[in-house]
Amino acid sequence: MSSSQLESVARDIVAPGKGILAADESGGTIEKRFKSIHVESTEERRRFYRETLFTTPGVEEFISGVILFDETIRQTSADGTPFPELLAGKGIHPGIKVDKGAKALTGFPDEKITEGLDGLRERLAEYVKLGAKFTKWRAVITIGHAMPTSFCIDANAHALARYAALSQEAGLVPIVEPEVLMDGTHTIERCEQVTEWTLKRVYMALHDQRVRLEGTLLKPNMVLSGKECEEQAHVEQVALATVRCLRNSVPATVPGIVFLSGGQTDEAATEHLNAMNAIGNHPWELSFSYGRALQAPALKAWGGKEARRSAAQKAHLHRAKMNGVARYGTYSSEMEKELVIV
């Protein structure tokens, strides 16, 4: 894929009113989610659940890309259609998570480094054959006592940039995801400081490794108060702090920013995205790449029952639509009343 094609795919993913469904949960994560509804996590149930999301009528109006897991990109719908082909047929770009997870950073207690660079070039070539159009790699930054360290940030920034360069070499749009975790007692001011520091180091590394920013997307955390912080920032504070942070650290050549929800409630993630877009006049598209914040209502409505597929799809479409509206900064909580599941 040429540079212009990479840029075209990146811009298509952040088209107005649309965003990404993150359906790339690892085996352990999807098992936890299934346990929350008292459903055993078998391969067939995972396949059925993902097919339920992907075949939701009309979801392509609000979802432009889906991030898949290694298992999922190899699965098919009930009629034998490979998931990447099914998604592409609806005008949705199939993507793939390619990192191997965050592991302990030796010598740096409680900090993490994401692994997966070994053999990545070969894996990317296979994913291209399977139909992938973009990739994702997540790095984890923890705020705590004497954390993060500059070494942790730089080590993860280097890995993110190496992954991005390899993805573009393979003709895939890399989504760069440096997540500053919500866990902790830190204030929103501390989160902004660490997020800006992290993003600046990431973009230095991307520049050093000659990654073409026009053919990338950024998946950052929003600037939020820590989960255990006594004083939680309100929606407008979050929007202003996040936009200020991004303006100070993300080049305007990046086509779009697709936020992760990072443990926020469904509606909070939508409200924050809406408030940022309501500010207006950004150099990049502000979109979403939500996992749990898009899936939780559908998962609950499904409950592991095949007869509840339609209810799950209705809940999924509603959540996708709410975030699609938030892309324009015109969402209101009153819109949540539109959803009625029987």
Is residue 129 within 8 Å of residue 175, measured between CB atoms? no
Burial of 135 (0-12, 13-18, 19+ CB in 10 A): buried
Give the helix/strand (H/E) hosting 191: helix 188-208
* Catalytic residue numbers, as ranges: 177, 219
Give the integer Cα–Cα distance in Å for 279 and 257. Answer: 15
Distances (CA, A) of 335 to 112, 150, 271, 297: 40, 43, 12, 15
On the CB side of 329, how many CA atoms lie within 13 Å of its CA?
A: 12
Q: Which residues contact 332 (CB under 8 A, 6 or more apart)?
A: none
Is residue 13 within 8 Å of residue 256, measured between CB atoms? yes
Q: What is the CA radius of gyration of the chain?
A: 19
Is residue 333 within 8 Å of residue 267, measured between CB atoms? yes
Distances (CA, A) of 110 to 1, 143, 154: 39, 10, 16
Give the integer Cα–Cα distance in Å for 170 and 101. Answer: 21
CA nearest 53: which of 342, 332, 328, 291? 291
Give the helix/strand (H/E) hosting 326: helix 309-326
Which tokens hold the place of 293?
Answer: 């914040």
Residue keyed to tokens 């040429």:
2
Residues in the chain: 342
